Structure 1
Amino acid sequence: MTTGALDGIRVLEIGTLISGPFAGRLLGDMGAEVIKIEPPGMPDPLRTWGQAELEGHRFFWTVHARNKKAVTLDLRTEAGRELFLELVDCSDIIVENFRPGTLERWNLGYDVLHARNRGIILVRVSGYGQTGPDAHRAGYASVAEAASGLRHLNGFPDGPPPRLALSLGDSLAGMFAAQGALAALYRRTVTGEGQVVDAALTESCLAIQESTIPDYDVGGVVRGPSGTRLEGIAPSNIYRSADGSWVVIAANQDTVFRRLCAAMGQPELADDDRFANHRARGRNQDELDKLIGDWASQRQPNDIIETLSAAGVIAGPINTVAEVVTDPQLRARGMLVDHWDDRVNRSVLGPGVVPVLSESPGTVRNSGPSRPGLDNDEVYRDLLGHTDEELAALAAEGVL
């Protein structure tokens, strides 16, 4: 059975933690066979990450390990290097997120990989990219978010710039890396040649910042944090309902704002000079937020959402994860899926496959290897043809 659009593509993943493994997971979700390589005795630290704990185990691993096989291999040894190159011979993509220069020190730079397989695509994720004055520096998501200007946009005016309670920069880089891998796969169908995909955490954080750069270049505008709203985009904010909970209401397009005014029983506001168009509403944002806030404060959250949704106005709750996992829309779309975790002998819920393809949808085919090297025999013996005796000898040498 076809497992997804990338069925038949083989990926070697030699990264750790989040950015590289996230790219590998995205490719695996779309059907690729992903072989994760960990050094002997040095498992990916992600195996021990996550905030919940059960029987001594944590569960970030289940999110990024799914649809992967796990083998151990010491790339620092000559025997390990040769075995890796055998895998390169029969693979399509390599994903790594080491500091730039690491593969070259192991004599596994792209020139070596391309000499073995002219179609190989090397996806390199790093803090600052493979070139430039900062390329040699290690990079974490927290620093990338800050250095790119993204962190400066978060929070409230005159307050410290907080982080999102996630490693956003890592995930953004992993997404751009997977996108680059797909583009390189297509180009290979034209040229027959692989190439290097260079994705940086800082640049990934920069890429999503909308008009901040041209606004500064043209008008000298240094966009800063705006709390719960965007300056000049109104109405688009959170409003407290009668029971004290918050509801998001977004009606910053002229036609949608007119619907909001009618649903609030104040249709005259749509023709008020203060609010008649996008720029006017931006200038009078505080006054408009107060009017909507007064209306929302007299109503229960479900009533607000149902009333506005029926009127064609965008509105919704601010859900916790406890509410997300019971959301009927997400459930209907298959966006909450079970992963069997044999470490704790039970299913563990995780995110579904995004995006949804109509003819070759991605799948969660397995929950990922619970132990490093779990698939050594299958990969090295069945895929590459090594005998049990050869594998035993390599294991004795510490290569596997």
Structure 2
Amino acid sequence: MTDAAATAPRPNVLEVAGLTKHFPVGGGLFGRKKGVVQAVSDVSFAVAAGETLAIVGESGCGKSTTGRALLRLLEPSAGSVRLDGEEVTDLPPHRLQALRRNMQMVFQDPFGSLNPRMTVRETLMEPLLLHGVAHGDQARQVTARLLETVGLAAHHADRYPHEFSGGQRQRICIARAIATRPRLIVCDEPVSALDVSVQAQIVNLLQDLQREFGMAYVFISHDLSVVRHIADRVAVMYLGRIVEEAPSATLFADPRHPYTRALIEAAPRPVPGLRTATEPPEGEAPSALDPGPGCAFAPRCPLATDLCRTTRPELQATGPQARVACHHAETRAEMVFPPAPAQSPQLTARLAIMARARAAQSAA
């Protein structure tokens, strides 16, 4: 392969434009519509073949709703979703079922997403038979290879979900997702319900499978340490909108939006007792029923001005593959939240005692 071919841009597998999902809210005696919850509003992005786009944000920001709307597990209220150039949002049921071979999902709760009455073999053979990938003995052979691919043994095929650990169940879910060799997999918090050591194994497995099969991932998570490890690009959501998008290394080294900075600063440090440099932003997010005309982060932002409170900022390019929705994106040097309280003397003394104990054990 020539250098030019190696550096050529990869084609987009997924293209999303103006994706919106609103939920009507009823009330009163006759259940009349009182308003709409703006769960996702005007979300646009693209994912290339073999690329991982992570969507991050606080709980309730619309991450999972976005992932489900991409696959039409939830019907979008508006917008366009194109998979390999084919519009997904207006497909009739029979065409949508055929297209599902190329778009799959790994859910947060592996036990809840597996049928407890089906063996692993039946679970893995179901998509093979449904999409005509394999039948009979060939399907059984493919099932055995799938289990080996995700780090399980062929004899596990005759067991039921309750006979496995959480990490093993998630491997089964991943095997089911890759059974049809999809072009796109939406991973909705795939490691948040697992132990830390198992999380690393599952993330490494996902990366190995991506390198082998060239699938695109939309990786939904609130864990920035996992996102930093797996993502090529990161989109930050706040109250249903993308407020910043950038390559992973760029976003973590130089966040442009105050909310992105707050998320990174609030992430736990891998050192016992070490506090973050700043306190999380104070205040509450506006209601999704009525987010108001300005920037939704303005009530919590240290840089907010009258312009922020009255005019919603649009996503603007700030560099290669980087966008930010902030009126003050260039003043990030002043993006300072209140300093965190000092560490208490009692905690300092406790940590010192623990450090001396570890040192004594090492010397012994």
Q: Which has the higher contact order (CA 8 A, sep 6+)?
A: 1
Normalised to the residue count of structure 2, the TM-score between the two structures is: 0.26
Which protein is richer in strand relative to its size?
2
TM-score (norm 1): 0.25
Bigger radius of gyration, 1 or 2? 1
